[in-house]
Structure 1
Amino acid sequence: MKKIFLKIIRGMEYGSLTYLLALLVSVQTIEITTKDIVGVLLMSAAIGLLTLIFTIDRLSYLAAIIIHLLGTFALVVLTDRLTGVFHGILNLNFWLIFVTAYLVIWLIIKVDQQTQVDRINAALKKAQTK
């Protein structure tokens, strides 16, 4: 249960930050409503839950990435259809931002994971030399 809660929170962290940064670089001025905020938070929580796909041992990493990307795409489209939060989902700029954001988040997660592995390995090496 704790793992699921942490995935939801992490998804909301990445999603809300990404949404705010996308608004920052957006060329259009839009009004953000409570419905927009709730939509982004719920969508981000669902995307966070979708990361549980990476814990399925039967799936290759590539398959998990593809499923996660397609699931994220579906959640973004569904959220926009329900709330209109993205104000221009048919716009090419939106999809460039989507793909860029997905790649940047993936890179950040990979760097974070590698940093954690390096710390663990360093601690194990230090413990072995004692």
Structure 2
Amino acid sequence: MIKSYTDHAANERTFLAWLRTGVAVIAFGFLIDRFDLFVITMSNALSVQPEHRAELESMSSKLGHGTGLWFILVGIILIVAAMVRFVRTRALILDQEIHTAGFMMEFVLAVVLAALIVVASIPLLVSAL
């Protein structure tokens, strides 16, 4: 039996949850980045007036390219941070000394993701007004 098996299993589950979150953020970034294709397709299908179509295209491209890229980069950073956290926690589990729990990396990544969501929603709020 592996010594501290439950701790190692919990560390691996946490790592996999971080990976899932990173992949989901990357997928959301691709969705945002390619949202302009959806808008153009829908405007063609619904025969939108040309002036409204130009406004939709400009708004969707402004929202999509920059914000989508930032979500993709944050997702990649989440995956890298998950790997660093997994390896560090594994080393701490194997060490026999008592260590204090740290939450700084999780807190910083949560703040960055929340800020990115707020920044991404600003164009939607402005266009609604």
Q: What TM-score range do you get, normalising by the shorter chain?
A: 0.3 to 0.5
TM-score by length of 2: 0.36
Task: Tell me which of the two structures has the higher relative contact order, counting C-alpha pairs closer than 8 angstroms and 6 or more residues apart.
Answer: 2
TM-score by length of 1: 0.35
